[in-house]
Amino acid sequence: MERVVPPEGATICGEFIKGGTLVGMNSWVVHRNRDLYGQDCDEWNPNRWLCESDKRRKMENALLTVSPNFPTQQVDICWSLFLLLLLAKINADNGALTPA
């Protein structure tokens, strides 16, 4: 992901970068920040997003995705799908495979 340093310049990781310079970062590296995402950041763990709002906001702000709410949206989708499948199973007893 590339960005242009603002005209006044910026200090990044202790180094001053002059304005107008093109800088980039690797999203894989950013998303492996153990201080932010936890020691299990290399593992799929959707429960990491079920934390206090301040920590979740920091994680969301550091995400490089198509949507800033992507992780919590995925949890919502998973719960919705779970409930839909549960209702379909319940209705399967009477022969219907439709949600209630």
In tens, the pLDDT along 53-84 reads: 999 999 888 877 766 666 677 778 888 888 88
Establish if 23 belongs to a structural domain: yes
Distance CA 48, CA 62 (A): 14
Statement: residue 42 has pLDDT above 70: yes
3-state secondary structure of 24: strand
pTM of the model: 0.47
Establish if 44 belongs to a structural domain: yes
Distance CA 60, CA 57 (A): 5
Nearest to 28 by CA among 17, 19, 37: 37
Establish if 49 belongs to a structural domain: yes
The total domain count for the chain is 1
Residue range(s) defining the domain that contains residue 19: 2-67
The pLDDT score that the predictor gives to residue 84 is 81
Establish if 13 belongs to a structural domain: yes
Establish if 29 belongs to a structural domain: yes
Q: How many CB atoms lie within 10 A of CB 57?
A: 12
- Pseudo-torsion of CA 9, 10, 12, 16, nearest 10°? 50
In tens, the pLDDT along 21-39 reads: 999 888 888 889 999 999 9
